[in-house]
Structure 1
Amino acid sequence: MITLIQYNDPGYTTRDGLSPAEASKLVKPDHINWFDVEITNKILVEDTAQFFGIHHLMAEDIQNLEQLPKFEVFDKYLFFTLKMLVFNPDANKITQEHLSIVMGEDLIITFQEGLPGDVFDELRNRIALAKGRIRKYGADYLFYNIIDSVVDNYMIIMERLRDKIEKLEAEIIKDPSFHVVEEIMEIKKEINTLRKYTLPLRDALNKMRVEGSHFIQKTSVNYFQDVADHIHYLISSFETSREMLKDIMDLHLSNLSNDMNKVMKTLTVVAAIFIPLTFIAGVYGMNFKYMPELDSPYGYPMLWTFMIVSSVVMVVYMKHKKWL
């Protein structure tokens, strides 16, 4: 299915459910033509490429859903592919969708993988209501806004992950016995996913700013620099978040070590108290015939008294040394 958003400064129209043949006939040179293609099968991509004159290598990259962020320049078109990431609160994880962008003169074609929803609702609303500069600028400005919408969502996901890390840190400080290993590994996995697609995106964007300069007007150069700044912030956030997770893991291991030390301390105190008692029991457990205390009527109570007194002395001494 192909959706067309067509606009210029004074006007705006939209059409849904177009075929590639119908869509190619609706291009107006005095308008910005944004064709959004929801990929349902291979034939749809091939037909769209045929009717719009898209190079077959570009069509292959569009269908390669495992492709990392990439930029290429062709004769009539500029090609950019990246991953559209969305945080799914129900599943509590990041979902990803492949996105390819083809830009020509007054023309933008986006190819989405076909999953429900995207990150362009606000952009579509701005176009419909003529908010800001969107309807006054060219296709390169729309191209910037599409990439910026994706990168802004990266930043939203990163902020969510930072919030999860801070809550995890507060929880382990509040309750040292709280087990955080699974949560740390899950957050680390999500950060690695975000990082996996951000680093190649930075390289693709830098390449585009050099090799695709004839497709981009001078008035739009600063906007792409803004996207590059956002990506730089994301990359620095990755390192900060990884350090925070490492600190939380170190704190968790320190708490485990402290718990083990407390257990060993308790066992040592108990063993120390029973050392003199074991010695006394061992002495009077020897099989000698002549032991004076065995014939004494006060031997048994005196032995118990000595054992109790020695235990109390041991406890008092340990408290004095602050071992208890």
Structure 2
Amino acid sequence: MIVDQAVYRDGRRQPCADLSDELAKLADVPDGFLWIGLKDPTDAEFDLVKGELGLHPLAIEDAVNGNQRAKMEVYDGSLFVVLKPLRYIEESSQVETGEVMLFVGEHFVVTVRRGEANPLAEVRRRLEANSEHLAYGPAAVLHAVMDDVVDRYVAIDDEIAHDLEQMEESVFAGEVEVEASALGDAPPPVPHRRRGGEEARRIYLLKREVLEFRRAAVPLKDAMLRLHQHPTPNVPDEARPFFRDVADHLLRVIDHIESYDRLLSDILSAHLTRVSVQQNDDMRRISAWAAIGVAVTLIAGVYGMNFRHMPELAWTFGYPMAIGLMLVVSTVLYRQFKKSGWL
């Protein structure tokens, strides 16, 4: 549906009447432009604007179908920009991806929003309060929307960094407890049998969030660099420094994303190594107790054979001696396994 539409002249909002008439009037206004906002539009709704604005069929096809990667394309002097805004959900600590597309012409801007990840009403309100910025025309809208999307990236970057820090503390807490126990500063840690699988699941989910973040931010890099480094249709040269500032924020976020991906891989490897070591420790304990049990069973088996001429069969102290021998052998084996760290 059409969420909002207005004409802007001299940095001020004015009501929009017939599109053809408005575009004809704007032809003689250097900084005048038309801004139409659409949300989840259908083909019929696009038909209302594409003919009047002369939008390219390929760009319209991408906008109707959706699910595009972040990009910027030039069609007959107009720009088609796809952005992937993100929204951090506090309840589940997950990242939700939306989609915003912009058609930027000489005297018009059409914004197409899909999903709830990036409402543009606040962007329009802030832009309308800054008449000086609106003087740059459609480029002002392009910059404002891009700046808002990247600012959300920065906020989500902080949230993911916090989640990653908590993940590190959780995964390596066991190693800290073990070291403290070895130094005599704390009791031995109690093993959590279900903790390993849960932590691996959390690491995997966070890695998926980082991947989703990367898919949204990294492809936008080329578009941002082009906007501030090279002449671009409908973007005045004096507006290019504003895009450079947004590009700096985006590049910093991308650097963080790359480091998060590597760090999560290292954390996952360390976690799997920790689980493997824990399993080896369990197997050593089981083997040590089994060895003690085998020794006792061997003695009981020997003295349990009821042969007629067996030594000590009729000895009065044979039974206490057998029990004592079992205790001595078990104690010696236990102390040896304890000394070697198997128990």
What range describes the TM-score normalised by the shorter chain of this pair? 0.7 to 0.9
Q: Does 1:245 align with 2:264?
A: yes
- After TM superposition, the structure 1 = structure 2 runs for residues 64-83 of structure 1, keeping only pairs within 5 Å, are 64-83=65-84
| TM-score (structure 2 length as normaliser) | 0.80
Of 198, 215, 222 in structure 2, the residue corresponding to residue 196 of structure 1 is: 215
**CA distance in structure 2 between the partners assigned to 1:83 and 1:314 by the alignment:** 65
Please provide the CA RMSD for this pair.
2.9
**CA distance in structure 2 between the partners assigned to 1:37 and 1:302 by the alignment:** 93
Structure 1 partner of 2:54: 53
Structure 1 partner of 2:187: none
**143-152 vs 305-314, which deviates more?**
305-314
Gap regions ≥5 residues in structure 1: none
**CA distance in structure 2 between the partners assigned to 1:125 and 1:14 by the alignment:** 14
8 Å CA contact 1:188–1:242 kept in 2: the answer is yes
| TM-score (structure 1 length as normaliser) | 0.84
Q: Deviations over 1:19-68 (max 9, x none)?
A: xx734544543534322122432111122011122233332222120222
Q: Does 1:22 align with 2:24?
A: no
Gap regions ≥5 residues in structure 2: 176-191
Q: Does 1:13 align with 2:9?
A: no
Q: AA paired with 2:143?
A: Y
Question: Identity of counterpart residues, as a percentage?
Answer: 29
Pair 1:284–1:216, CA change in 2 (3 A)? same
Q: Alpha-carbon deviation of 1:141?
A: 2.8
Pair 1:161–1:321, CA change in 2 (3 A)? closer
- After TM superposition, the structure 1 = structure 2 runs for residues 58-137 of structure 1, keeping only pairs within 5 Å, are 58-90=59-91, 92-113=93-114, 115-116=115-116, 118-130=118-130, 133-137=132-136
Q: Deviations over 1:257-306 (max 9, x none)?
A: 23212322222221332343233223224453212300112211122122
Pair 1:319–1:76, CA change in 2 (3 A)? closer
Structure 2 residue matching 1:54: 3-state secondary structure = coil
Q: Alpha-carbon deviation of 1:240?
A: 0.9
**CA distance in structure 1 between the partners assigned to 2:227 and 2:65 by the alignment:** 20
8 Å CA contact 1:184–1:245 kept in 2: the answer is yes
- After TM superposition, the structure 1 = structure 2 runs for residues 214-293 of structure 1, keeping only pairs within 5 Å, are 214-286=233-305, 288-293=307-312
**CA distance in structure 1 between the partners assigned to 2:67 and 2:285 by the alignment:** 56
8 Å CA contact 1:73–1:212 kept in 2: the answer is no
**CA distance in structure 2 between the partners assigned to 1:98 and 1:153 by the alignment:** 13
**CA distance in structure 2 between the partners assigned to 1:64 and 1:253 by the alignment:** 41
Q: Alpha-carbon deviation of 1:214?
A: 4.3
8 Å CA contact 1:78–1:212 kept in 2: the answer is no
8 Å CA contact 2:87–2:117 kept in 1: the answer is no
Structure 2 partner of 1:308: 327
Pair 1:299–1:58, CA change in 2 (3 A)? closer
Structure 2 partner of 1:42: 43
Pair 1:272–1:246, CA change in 2 (3 A)? same
Structure 1 partner of 2:185: none
Q: AA paired with 1:141?
A: A
How many pairs are equivalent? Answer: 317
Q: AA paired with 2:220?
A: L
Pair 1:256–1:117, CA change in 2 (3 A)? closer
8 Å CA contact 1:158–1:234 kept in 2: the answer is yes
Q: AA paired with 1:63?
A: V
Q: Deviations over 1:95-149 (max 9, x none)?
A: 3333221222243221223x34734344333224338x52443332331221121
**CA distance in structure 2 between the partners assigned to 1:220 and 1:183 by the alignment:** 43
Structure 1 partner of 2:137: 138
**85-94 vs 254-263, which deviates more?**
85-94
Pair 1:223–1:297, CA change in 2 (3 A)? same
